[in-house]
Amino acid sequence: MKRSLRLIQSIAGAVILCALWEVLGQTKVLGPSLPALSTVLGTLFAPNRAKLFTTAISATALSAALGLLIGGGSGALIAGARQTISWTRPGLDRFAALIHAIPQVAIAPVMVIVFGRAGSPIAVAAIAAFFPAYAASTRAFAAAAQSHQDLFTVLGSSRSARLLRLDLPAALPGLADALKLAAPGAVLGAVLGEWFGAPKGVGILILSSSQNYDIPLLWAGALVSTLMALVGFGVFAAVQNAATRRLT
């Protein structure tokens, strides 16, 4: 019942937002900088621009997926090491905070130099995904019940046995939550990384339309990047719900 109510509330909120966008665009309250939603959707689904959007979306999706795999996977692995080797926790926490403190817009040009134009979106996406994945994974690896932890301590289990047989199974829903939180950051990181010379992608689409003052195309690119982030969030939210039902 609660899940259905949340779904209805989410749909109602989206409908209200879209209606407000359409009204503001049609009435030109904010001037030509905000076109109506119908105009943006017309640009997005225009037959003559299908190849443009398909190429851009596929490039950004690939960069975001690889960035999530690298950044999110690294965050989860380092969080697992933190859980197993307790004396590393302060240092790893500071390292993660340092990575998180790096401005992505400042590091992106450096990534172009280091990894090239094609690799920079992946690198920025990985940096963007790392901290959310690490922060959520540290909580996930501490999710095992205290009674179970005490039992493993009494039995004298090794660190590796505790990690594989207790901490990791208990952490699976939380690890899915970590990827859920990291996925939108990976998408936006990939888009940002594309601004600095990537050969193709949604970021290049947004940048070029801004320079050419093609406002509907600019908003269409922004809408696509937002929807991609929401899709990534939704996919891992479904994985988290499935893992929760399976393991609880």
Query: Residue 27: is it exposed, middle or buried by C-beta count within 10 angstroms (0-12/13-18/19+)?
Result: exposed
Whether residue 32 lies inside any domain: the answer is no
Per the domain annotation, does 123 fall within a domain? yes
Q: Report the CATH number at residue 239.
A: 1.10.3720.10
102 domain residue, yes or no: yes
Q: Domain for residue 34, yes or no?
A: no
pLDDT tens-place values along the chain, 248 residues long? 666 777 787 788 888 888 888 888 888 888 888 898 888 898 889 888 889 899 999 999 999 999 999 999 999 999 888 888 888 888 989 998 888 888 888 888 888 888 888 888 999 999 999 999 999 999 888 777 666 666 667 666 766 677 667 777 777 888 888 899 999 999 999 999 888 878 888 989 998 888 888 899 999 999 999 999 999 998 998 888 887 777 66
Using CA atoms, how far residue 209 sits from 45, 50, 224, in Å, is: 16, 16, 14
Give dist(CA 244, CA 122) in Å, integer: 30
Q: Is residue 44 part of a domain?
A: no
Sequence-distant (6+) residues with CB within 8 A of 206 are 191, 195, 218, 221, 222, 225
Q: Where are the alpha helices (DSSP H) in 28-103?
A: 37-44, 50-67, 73-84, 89-101
pLDDT of residue 150: 61
Element (H, E) at 225: helix 215-247
> Is residue 101 domain-resident?
yes
At 110 the pLDDT is 85
| Burial group, residue 73, by CB count within 10 angstroms (0-12, 13-18, 19+) | middle
Domain that holds residue 193: 52-247
Q: Is residue 35 part of a domain?
A: no
> Per the structure, how many domains does the chain have?
1
In-domain check, residue 15: no
Which pLDDT does position 32 carry in this prediction?
A: 82
